[in-house]
């Protein structure tokens, strides 16, 4: 089932024509998911709120056109990704790159350590190139398939897969303790 059909079924708008889908209903059902995606894209709660606000503002101005589309959710998500890309480009020109020291794992039951680990993950995502970060976020935070990501970003599915593989490789290199060998793989000194 595609996202547009799923959204229409969830909101009970399957019977209504696309032009009758109201903007307030869309905001009520999708703003939390947009915020989660924006938070991962920006790494900052205030910046995520601003990004969602600007995304919804632009979507509201074009709502008749968007509502007539087969997948209004994908269209609005694309607006958000484009805005995040623009902001990232401006930010990279103004702020020098900062390396933060990470790699420590939180002890089981250490809630502050888990929060710190999440913060480190968001910072690591911020260090990825924008397209790579966007692909990782759309895959793992929005659970989209290669084809859906490719359609959203207007790139080929093979580009999605290569960007995802490179992004995950970079993330794993920043968290070596989390990407060690699996228990079934032999380690050094094992015969």
* Residue 178 confidence (pLDDT): 53
pLDDT in tens, 60-73: 999 998 888 888 88
Task: Return the CA Rg of the chain.
Answer: 19
Report the pLDDT value the prediction gives residue 60, as an integer from 0 to 100. 93
As a residue count, the chain comes to 191
33-41 long-range Cβ contacts below 8 angstroms, 24+ apart = 33/142, 34/76, 34/77, 34/80, 36/141, 37/77, 37/80, 37/137, 37/138, 37/141, 37/142, 38/80, 38/84, 39/122, 40/122, 40/125, 40/137, 40/141, 41/80, 41/81, 41/84, 41/133, 41/134, 41/137
**pLDDT value at position 109?**
52
Spatial distance between the Cα atoms of 25 and 160, rounded to a whole number of angstroms: 31
Mean pLDDT for each consecutive 10-residue tract of the chain (191 residues)? 51 47 86 89 87 93 88 89 78 49 48 59 82 88 88 91 92 69 46 43
pLDDT at 179: 52
Helix (H, G, I), strand (E, B) or coil at 144: coil
pLDDT tens per residue across span 11-50: 554 544 444 458 899 999 999 999 988 888 887 889 889 9
């Amino acid at each position: 089932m595609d996202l547009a059909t799923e959204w229409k079924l969830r909101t009970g708008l399957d019977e209504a024509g696309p032009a009758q889908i109201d903007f307030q209903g869309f905001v009520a059902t999708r703003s939390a998911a947009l915020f989660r995606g924006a938070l991962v894209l920006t790494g900052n709660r205030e910046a995520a709120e601003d990004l969602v606000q600007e995304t919804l503002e632009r979507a509201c101005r074009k709502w008749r056109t968007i509502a007539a589309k087969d997948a209004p959710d994908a269209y609005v998500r694309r607006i958000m990704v484009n805005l995040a890309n623009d902001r990232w480009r401006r930010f990279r020109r103004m702020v020098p790159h900062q390396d933060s020291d990470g790699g420590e794992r939180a002890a089981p039951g250490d809630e502050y350590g888990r929060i710190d680990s999440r913060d480190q993950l968001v910072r690591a995502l911020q260090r990825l190139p924008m397209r790579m970060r966007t692909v990782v976020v759309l895959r793992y935070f929005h659970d989209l398939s290669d084809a859906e990501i490719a359609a959203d970003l207007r790139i080929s599915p093979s580009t999605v897969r290569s960007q995802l593989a490179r992004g995950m490789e970079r993330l794993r290199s920043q968290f070596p303790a989390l990407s060690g060998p699996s228990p079934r793989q032999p380690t050094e000194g094992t015969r």
